[in-house]
Structure 1
Amino acid sequence: MRSGSIVSVLLLGTILSAPAFGQDRSQNTAGDSGDIIVTARRSEERLQDVPISITVLSEEAIAKRNIYNANDLAAYVPSLSLNSNFGPEKASFAIRGFVQEGKTAPSVGVYFADVVAPRANGGTTSGNGAGVGSMMDLQNVQVLKGPQGTLFGRNTTGGAILLVPAKPTNNLEGYVEGSVGDYNLRRFQGVLNAPLSDTFRVRAAVDWNQRDGYLRNRSGIGPDRLGDTDYIATRLSIVGDLTPDLENYTIFSYSRSNNHGVAPKMIGCNPNFNPLTDSPLVAVLGPLSCAQIARQNARGDGFWDVESADPNQLERVEQWQVINTTTWRASDNLTVKNIASYAEYREKADFSLWGDNLLVPGAGGLRLPTITIGLGASGYNSSQSTFTEELQLQGSALGDALKWQAGAYLEVSKPLGFSSSFAHIFLSCTNALTYQCSDPLGFGSISSTNYKDTFNNKGLYAQATYKLSERFSVTGGIRYTMDKLTDINRNLNIYLPAPGTQLFTCQNIIKFNNGAGGPLFVEGPQSARCENVFQTKSNRPTWLIDLDYKPSDDMLLYAKWARGYRQGGINPNNLGIETWGPEKVDTYEVGAKTSFRGAVPGYFNVAAFYNNFRGQQLAVNSVVAPAYVNSVPPIQAIVNAGKSRLWGVEVDASVRPFEGLRLDVSYAYLNTKLQQFTPPTPPVYYSSLLPTAQVGEPLSLSPKNRVTVTGTYTLPLDASVGEVSFGATFTHTDANAAVSQIFSPFLYKVKASNLLNLNVDWKSALGSPIDLAFFMTNVTNEKLITFPGGSWQTFGADVGHTNMPRMFGFRARINFGK
């Protein structure tokens, strides 16, 4: 389907319809957004009164669409893209083309109960997002598009995702729910809400989910199934009314995920070594990659068959958090709120970076691995604590004509010991921690990464809305953010010259030269003699100016200018370019929100935006200078080299054309372009720094057109039968760049996709307290490479992570209480 056709059909359709996802379970107001309550400005407001482009998914929408992880959420929000290169537990979000590259800070902030997600700063994207179990027992999910740089704790350029948990009520109620399905799906959820007294109430929830892997590993090494699900998440919420005007709300949560992770599929090989553009390794590894592809084809491998030779592949994430919110209604015009939290995040991972299983011909099955990343000396790839504290004042004055809020924010994230990993390069290891490895090429090594990162983020903010008249309001907000990141690292190279023998040398080039041109040999994989310290600081203001006008109670027009910024970062592995600075964006947005009632209720919301993006944090690939080929590895570094413009249009609408039928449509048009690439002068170890994005080309993860259409029809049945509804969601996404590489013939593109999901729900079956459901995702079994990768010029192969195949399941819920 061509983009122009999509736009034409869509603009006609949006006059009639798009997502009214925020309705309550009764759906008495389906198609009318007037009763959807959001907290996008840190207080409860009607969706149609908030001058922000927002998509809201209710608790019912989450259940119907079987949304249980970040992958599922991104499928239903057109402006939201996802990088799940290392599995859904470690996924990062992108909104409007603002992506998170490598070890950069998140471009989209994820907040649970007003608290930002716990930090993690591993070698691969981890933490900072929606962890396992975070989608259970929610009041709603709110996706806020564009920088929210005044009221939210962590400054970001792309937007914010608010996960609003269900709060304890005064009713004795709850449910137990079980799901079964293909790939041996077994899932249990349970919720109990109990008022223990007139002033004290609790709510407990649990989510246990297991499903076999959808990726079949054909190497015969390690797990035979990858991409599996295995987690448990629990939550306990307690609300105490200490006085009529003083409430204390505490949430305890714990989650643990233990699966085999994912592996990419080899999709292309470089058989023709070009000495002008390719690494010398391509001459050896390119033909071996082609042999792996030929082997896959000869076996008749399917799309979801991979061939990973990592014998120890795993992905384990454990996280716990406590959040305490104390709210004091000091007077009718002043509310004081204090939000404090503490969390710990720990991760263990072991995986093949390229999903390769290269066999040397005539060598009796000798394998030649490229890069495998596993546990390091400390036993955790990432291990971090996060403490946040926010004091917030909200008030009104001048007969409620002026509404204001102000506050102070503190976030301190400290290491729980060293985070470390071993990247074994061209080594075949059964246990890298004990150096049980063979070295087929004779120059393999282990890169030992050990670091402690400490984040200190402070912010002061104030925002106010003043009603100039009954219909016209102006909002102004400002925030001053102070960010500091300190990195203590001990990075080494480990060589295995003979069985049982190890040599440890510092990676840092200054210590490598050691004043005499030779390597600095040290005593172990975390030697203090290799220690280096880096630090970045940035202090920036961000602001918001908004004008909104309500011609009627059912229409809101607004225009705003917002400044967003994202802090810099550190990667000590990037020799000579270890740090990078902050980036900033100016967003200009105009929008309209309209509701219509009567016989055909619904709403139509539209927003148009333009982003001027500067100091953009971009990934670059290094070319090692000839003098350092045997001592310095190639890297992918982050540099402030980009200037881009991003503009587009977003539509959310909904309509109920007749009783029983609801049509929802969401649409996003996104036009992005890298306007300028100005890399820094490379350090002496590298001859050049190649961009991963081309000037004049679109940015990664920014499809031009994306549309989601949902139709739900409820049968006209007697109440004694229950409520039976049929739903279908269709999502079209244009082809887009996942990563832009100059020389790869595969162009690193994600092809256009058309995904269909179905659900059937039967509430209060035959008048009982039982709800039944059937759900199916990717009904047409669409085959899609969601994130291409690999290294055509360095290792001679392209790989790609696949989407999930068709899956289905059945769900039964027993409700009790009110």
Structure 2
Amino acid sequence: MKKTIKNMQPSGVSIGRIFELENTVRQLCSAIALITVMSPGSVLAQSEVKEDVMTLEEVIVTARRRDESLANVPIAISAMSADQLQQRQVRTDSDLQVAVPGLTIRQTQGNNSLTYSIRGQTADTFSGSPSAVVTYFNDVPLTIASSSSLFDLESVQVLKGPQGTLFGRNATGGAVLFNSAAPKDELGASLSLRAGNYDTREIDGMLNIPLIDNTLLLRAAVNTLEKDGYIENLFNGDDLGDIDRTSGRVSLTWRPTDSLENTTVMQYSSLRGTNTGASYPYSIYDSNCSILNCSSSFLSGFVDAQESLGLYKTQHPWSAEHKGTDWIVTNTTSYQLSENLTLKNILGVSHAETDSEQPQLGVPFATILTANIVTGESGNETDADSVSNEIQLQGVTEDGQFTYILGLYLQDYSFDTLWPQTYFESPASALTNAFRINNESRAVYAQGTYELAGLTGIDGLRVTTGVRYTWEKVDIEQLPAATYTYGAPDQDESFEDPSWEVGLEYQATDELLTYLKTRGSFRSGGFNGAAPPVDVDATGGGNKFESEHVKDVEAGLKFRGLAFDRPAMLNIALYKQWIEDVQRVEFPDPDGPGGLASIAVTANVPELVVQGIELEASIMPTDWLELGFSGAYTDAEFTDGDVNLFGNDYSYGPVGDTPEHSARIYANLNFAIGEDLGEVNFYTELYAQSEQYFSNAAGTIAPGTELPSYELVNSRLSWNGIMGSKFSAVLFGKNLADEEYFVGGMTLAAALGHNAAAVGEPRTYGVELSYQY
């Protein structure tokens, strides 16, 4: 039976793709050449920077696994220092979207179910697929499954595009690097107290102690947050979105000799609260309503009723409790073998577990519960463990012409999942999926950058090449709590592929860098835990899916210097990428129409093409004012979106979690208010994005899943060093215009005939008092 109307055209043959790639390279090269000629910075870059002119803050990044200025790295990166994170009010994962246009932090089942998306690459909820955007803490991949607090960080870096060589594990979309503040060789402490609406109470504390001068350094930090929810559940009077989180971190650096340094970081977080869920009934798919044995007008009535209630009221007849605990230990050892050669080892051990009950639709009856009412199991439970180790050899030749890195990467990862569910509170429909997926990843890599001046006579011209080869073994085991699949034989599958990078960069002046590169990477295949444990993919009625492969071309320009005799910065990246066997989820019905056995299945969609442009710019027209803009245009399209799942045809498109336009403009004012009175800083920004879909099949089986565009205004006013003291005071506000908007959703159109959306946070504001020693 046809589930969709096939409306996608098949992709071209391989020879056509070759000509397409060649044409794209020419277009990108022409664009960068034009930008280089026409940019005001290209003319003014030769100017000497005046010593009495304020400069823009320089951010140090580690995108190439060594400390470098952001302006000198030929990669599309958005990076924020500790001060910038504070100014932009980046305190949780979801705040990153406003700070980094082009990065989407989508909520699937609410505020504790977040998905990172960059350049059309993401991972769906209930997917067995590894995330296409990998998050790292101190260069160790994270396993955290809840939203988290970002506190006492040195920097946050968002690397865009496939990171095949140096951050290669499945990062076909990009990588987000969280680096904690390192212990320093000085006594220091800070304490911040925040209070705001929704009964918000937050404490940040830090203590830095040099136990032995320049040899043994200790740093400890803590964050606690209590906050009431912002969605009222009319069914039982509870609030959804409650947060009660406590996090702590201890860092210890040991330098027994000038050539040896070891840093250990231990972090622990505990979260309690309620999920916001996909609690807004958003749309009904009439042709599937027969699955529910209901009339479309019946469900449509609840959608109409919700519009009158507004975004921040719901009717959920079940619990929304969320509990999560996670910890991570990282240990980084660097030993300088010689002046030009360093050996580095990065060890990481982490654990994360959650127990989460999700509001699915927000109507006063349960179409689907995250509970098995027969066995009493309640809440989607996950338990993740990871151990990784990476050995690096970093060096530069005696003449300084060749910089290189060699590495070996090992990771063992285990993920237990328990999904209890009941449809319409009927015991006959109650079931539990319970399974464990293990992943063993092994990789070797090498990357080097060579100065070409000796060969070409052009100073500043460099070539970079890198390759990584990865072996992954994935196996799945059905656990005893599984209703129907326990006892099935274990399954395993091996995947191996190369990742690579080739790039040319030209440091035209000290202020201007241009580059052109191409990269390739892959995301390993695996198993759908809820699908029948049959050793074929969903086309044949089984639970397997294959690896995803991506290649791209990117051209960029980075300028940091003077424009019109004022400090200015301009970063531009243009790209095009081709993804084959794209890993995307759908909810097919293996028992045929009218059944209630719909499952989440990761399928391989044949082909996706993404192209776009990303821009960041800022200028200081005066010594006390900085003006800036950042934006992204993303054109993503399934050029072949047809798949067959359990004998039924499906078509994918448009691409979900990918707004075509997103942008941020800001003003940052900083000036002294008088001798010994202190300094005032005012930061304000406007973020806007266009429409986006929360389904990848909105054009066929999941209509009604387009979310409208929205705009957010955020501001922060601080008085630092009050009357010459070490105290500071802050007034802050987010979404000051109280915009009503959506940040994601849960599409069950193909399975249950309805879609539900997750609402964004309303206006929040408050005050902060801090002391810095």
Question: Which range, TM-score by smaller chain?
Answer: 0.7 to 0.9
- Listed as ranges, the matches of 1:352-371 within 5 Å are 352-358=359-365, 369-371=367-369
Counterpart of 1:161, as a letter, is V
Query: What does the per-residue CA deviation read over 1:70-93, in whole Å, with 9 as the maximum and x for residues that have no partner?
Result: 111111100100122233433121
CA shift, 1:414, in A, is: 3.0
Is residue 563 of structure 2 the alignment partner of residue 586 of structure 1?
A: no
Matches of 2:347 and 2:197, distance apart in 1: 42
CA offset at residue 15 of structure 1?
A: 7.1
Aligned partners of 2:111 and 2:276 also within 8 Å: no
- 1:235, 1:251 within 8 Å by CA — same for their partners in 2? yes
Residue in 2 that maps onto 1:426? 424
What amino acid is aligned across from residue 80 of structure 1 in structure 2?
Answer: L
Q: Which residue, out of 157, 174, 178, partners 2:189? A: 174
Give the secondary-structure state (helix, strand or coil) at the position aligned to 2:84. helix
For residue 588 of structure 2, give the secondary structure of its aligned residue in structure 1.
Answer: strand
**Is the contact between residue 476 and residue 546 of structure 1 (CA under 8 Å) also seen in structure 2?**
yes
Equivalent-residue separation in structure 2 for 1:543 and 1:719 (angstroms): 56
1:87 counterpart (106, 110, 124): 110
Matches within 5 A, 1:765-780: 765-780=722-737
Contact 1:478 1:544 survives alignment (8 Å): yes
Residue 286 of structure 1, CA deviation: 3.7
One-letter amino acid matched to 2:266: F
Distance 1:269 1:770 in 2: 51
CA contact (8 A) 2:61 2:68 kept: yes
Q: CA deviation at 1:536?
A: 2.7
> Within 5 Å, which residues of 2 pair with 1:669-708?
669-680=633-644, 682-683=645-646, 687-691=647-651, 693-694=652-653, 697=654, 699-708=655-664
Structure 1: 5+ residue runs without aligned partners? Answer: 1-10, 18-26, 121-125, 359-367, 428-438, 494-505, 509-527
In structure 2, relative to structure 1, the CA distance for the partners of 1:182 and 1:744 (3 Å cut) is farther
CA contact (8 A) 2:548 2:582 kept: yes
Amino acid at match of 1:533: D
Cα shift at 1:750: 1.7
Give me the CA root mean square deviation.
2.5
1:155-197, Cα deviation, whole Å (9 max, x unpaired): 3111111111110000100200100000000000100000011
Query: By how many angstroms is 1:488 displaced?
Result: 0.1
The 1:46/1:268 distance shift into structure 2, 3 A limit, reads: closer
Please state whether the residue corresponding to 2:163 is helix, strand or coil. coil
What secondary structure is seen at the aligned counterpart in 2 of 1:715?
strand
Residues 55, 29 of structure 1: CA spacing in aligned structure 2 closer, same or farther, 3 A cutoff? Answer: farther
Question: Residue 742 of structure 1: CA displacement?
Answer: 3.7
Q: Distance in 1 between matches of 2:686 and 2:324?
A: 32
| Contact 2:401/2:451 (<8 A) preserved | yes
1:732 equivalent in alignment to 2:688: yes
Cα distance, 1:533 vs structure 2: 1.8
> Does the alignment pair 1:63 with 2:105?
no
Q: Name the counterpart of 2:587.
A: 621
**Partner secondary structure for residue 531 of structure 1:** coil
Q: Distance in 1 between matches of 2:40 and 2:83?
A: 23
Corresponding residue for residue 73 of structure 1? 96
8 Å CA contact 1:237–1:252 kept in 2: the answer is yes
Corresponding position of 2:15: none
TM-aligned CA distance change 1:675 to 1:345, over 3 Å: same
Residue 288 of structure 2 is aligned with which of 265, 278, 281?
Answer: 278
Q: Which of 542, 552, 560 is the matching residue for 2:499?
A: 542
Matched-pair contact (CA < 8 Å) for 2:275–2:359: no
2:631–2:663 CA contact under 8 A, matched in 1: yes
C-alpha change, 1:294 and 1:671, in structure 2 (3 Å) is closer
Contact kept, 8 Å, 2:369 with 2:422, in 1: the verdict is: yes
Between the aligned partners of 2:195 and 2:726, the Cα distance in structure 1 is: 20
Q: Which runs of 5+ in 2 are unaligned?
A: 1-34, 42-50, 454-458, 533-540
Name which of 284, 299, 302 aligns with 1:292.
302
CA distance in 2, matches of 1:445, 1:78: 43
In the other structure, the counterpart of 2:434 is 450
CA contact (8 A) 2:414 2:437 kept: yes
The alpha carbon displacement at 1:226 in A equals 0.4
Deviates more, 1:331-340 or 1:100-109: 100-109
Indicate the residue corresponding to 1:805 in structure 2.
762
Name the counterpart of 1:48.
Answer: 71
Q: 1:546 to 1:233 in 2, by over 3 A?
A: same
Deviation at 1:669, TM superposition (A): 0.9
Q: CA separation in 2, counterparts of 1:784 and 1:357?
A: 23
SS of equivalent residue, structure 1 residue 162 = strand
Question: What whole-Å deviation, never above 9, does each CA across 1:658-716 have from its counterpart, x for those lacking one?
Answer: 12110121111111111002424x44xxx41433x33xx4x112212111111011235
Question: What CA distance in whole angstroms lies between the structure 2 residues aligned with 1:488 and 1:28?
Answer: 66
Name the SS of the counterpart of 2:253 in structure 1.
strand
Residue equivalent to 2:228: 212
* Deviation for aligned residue 1:265: 3.4
Say if 2:393 is the partner of 1:393: yes
Residue 101 of structure 1: how far off its partner (Å): 1.7
CA distance in 2, matches of 1:587, 1:719: 54
Given the superposition, is the C-alpha separation of residues 657 and 723 from structure 1 closer, same or farther in structure 2, using an over 3 Å criterion? same
Q: What is the aligned partner in structure 2 of residue 665 from structure 1? A: 629
* In 1: Cα distance, 2:710 partner to 2:600 partner: 29
Q: Give the match for residue 313 of structure 2.
A: 305
Q: What is the distance in 2 between the residues matched to 1:66 and 1:89?
A: 19
Distance 1:355 1:459 in 2: 45
Residue 608 of structure 2 is matched in structure 1 by 644
Flag the 1:227–1:15 CA change in 2: closer, same or farther, 3 A.
farther
Aligned to 1:552, which of 509, 513, 521? 509
User: Are the equivalent residues in 2 in contact too, given 1:594–1:605 (CA < 8 A)?
Assistant: yes
Counterpart among 179, 187, 207 of residue 164 in structure 1: 179
The 1:617–1:294 alpha-carbon spacing in structure 2 relative to 1, beyond 3 Å, is closer
Partner-residue secondary structure (3-state), 1:351: coil
Q: Deviations over 1:419-454 (max 9, x none)?
A: 423112221xxxxxxxxxxx4xxx642221111221
- After alignment, is 736-745 or 331-340 more displaced? 736-745
- Mapped partners of 1:146, 1:263: distance in 2: 30
Q: Cα deviations across residues 354-394 of structure 1 (Å, max 9, x unaligned)?
A: 23323xxxxxxxxx543334798698711121100111100
1:132 to 148, 156, 159: 148
8 Å CA contact 1:376, 1:420 repeated in 2: no
CA distance in 2, matches of 1:452, 1:745: 30
Q: Residue 115 of structure 1: which of 134, 140, 156 is its match?
A: 140
CA distance, structure 2, for counterparts of residue 547 and residue 594 of structure 1: 17
Q: Distance in 1 between matches of 2:380 and 2:112?
A: 16
1:482 aligns with 2:468: no
Q: Which amino acid aligns with 1:371?
A: L
> What is the SS of the residue equivalent to 2:229?
coil
Displacement of 1:602 in angstroms is 1.2
State how far apart, in whole Å, the 1-side matches of 2:666 and 2:142 are. 30
Percent identity at matched positions?
25
Counterpart CA distance in 1 for 2:741 and 2:698 is 19
Residues 621 and 689 of structure 1 are in contact (CA less than 8 Å); yes or no, is this contact kept in structure 2? no
Residues 245 and 328 in structure 1, CA contact (< 8 A), matched pair in contact too: yes
Are 1:263 and 1:308, in contact at CA under 8 Å, matched by a contact in 2? no
Could you tell me which residue of structure 2 aligns to residue 460 of structure 1? 444
